[in-house]
Structure 1
Amino acid sequence: MQADLEVLRNLNIARRTADKTHYVRLADIEQPFRAEFRAWMRLGQCPVVEGEDRFGCMYEHDFEGYRQERLRGVYRKWQGKTPWELLHYEAPATDDQI
């Protein structure tokens, strides 16, 4: 799966709560990376952030782990499978599907 990795490399979406929880909002991650990250994070823990969607945030360190694997093309988390090869991967909607 080819995507513009410069977009992923240059994403600056880290946020921090008053109690210093570092997180990212899934809505801030462009597709197809959002769908990939969701698959990569399957069964991962989500921070509870006041004022945010209950399942719409992930820890920043988890996103950085995904980003580094994706940029290097080395996938360790799922036994070497890329996010889009995982059975639970859900491809983002295309204009044809809307």
Structure 2
Amino acid sequence: MDARYSLYHFARAFHVSTTVPHAYVAERRIDLAKRLLAYSGVPLSTVAATCRFSSQANFSIAFQIATGFSPDRTVRRLLPNDYIAKSRQDLIPRLCAANLRSST
């Protein structure tokens, strides 16, 4: 499907309706990271890679800027200690698929 908008026109129209495209994409990546941290108990490096951050350090900085909390502190706030130790790798593909469907 081709909307036949120039990149400039699309960026302007997108900004008027929501925010700048880069900020929107960054916000969606942080939202996915929050869901992965809250429900899956997987390592931070896996969350960073799943959310397409270049490194765990880059993810941690971006997450802290966006939320005001470090990813590790967020995990400790959201999950009971016995659940943090469990790995729920099967949940990542489902959350990623749900995130991709909701962003289109």
Q: What TM-score bracket applies, with the shorter chain setting the length? A: under 0.3
Kindly name which structure, 1 or 2, has the bigger radius of gyration based on alpha carbons: 2
TM-score scaled by length of structure 2: 0.25
Structure 1 or 2: more helix by fraction:
2
* Higher RCO structure (Cα 8 Å, ≥6 apart): 1
Structure 1 or 2: more strand by fraction:
1
